[in-house]
Structure 1
C-alpha cells in the first residue's frame, strides 16, 4: 500500500524538493520499534528479556515488533516509501537489505545508487541514479541525522 501511495504522489507531482533544482532525491533507512508488551500476540513477534519496576525489579519476557522504514528526506511532504518487518532471529541489517532488494525490484527501469553513509548499516540511497555529493556521503563520521540536516539546512 505504501508503494502505491508513493507512486501516486510522484505521478501527480505532489512531492516537492525543499531545495529546488536538486538533481536527486535521498532516502534514509532506519529501524523503529512499533510496540512492546508482556503478552505475545503472534509468531512474528520478537522475544526479549527486560527488567521492569522501580522499587521491586523483576525480569519479564517482552514481545515486540520492529520495522525498518525507508523514508524520503529533503522533500515535502516527508514520505515513507516502504517498510520491512524485522523477523524473529534476524537483525536490522538483514531486514534493511531485504528492504533494499524489494525497493530496487519495484523501481523498474530506474537505477538506484547505494552509498554508505557510515560504517554501520545506515545507507543513503539516491533515487533516479543521480550522484550524491562527496561532501555528504563520503566523510567518515556522518550519521543519518547529519546528512538529513545537511540536505534540509544548506
Structure 2
C-alpha cells in the first residue's frame, strides 16, 4: 500500500482540510482501503480544483457521479462483456466495479465532468456566498463626525 505525504497540500489549499484528512485515513497502512481506481487531486486556480481518476476501459455510460450534501461519490460498473468468438488469454485491464467517495469542503460545488483518454476529470469550484466574503468597513473618528454635523446645520 502506498502512502502519500499530503502536508504540502495542507499549506497551499483552503477549504479541503477535511478532504485531505479523509484521504490520509483511507491511504493509511492499516486502512485496507482499495487503491482502485488511482486518482489525483489538483489545485487549478485560487478556488478551483480538479479530481482526475484513471478509469481505462470504462465509458461515460458505465460511470455515475453523485453529489449529496458535502460528499462526492463516483461509481463505476461495467456491463457484462460477452466473450463470444474470442478467448481472453490474459486480462490485465481492470474492469471491476468501483466506488470512490470524497468529502467536499463547505461551498465546494462540482462544475463539470469529462472523460477523455481513459481519464475522468471532475472540476470543482469553491463559491463563497457574498454574505460570507470579507468586506471593508470605513473608519470614522468623532472629529470628522462633529464637523459633518456642523456643516449640515450651517447648510440648513
Q: TM-score, normalised by structure 1?
A: 0.28
- When Rg is computed on C-alpha atoms for both structures, the one with the higher figure is 2
Report the structure, 1 or 2, having the larger strand content: 1
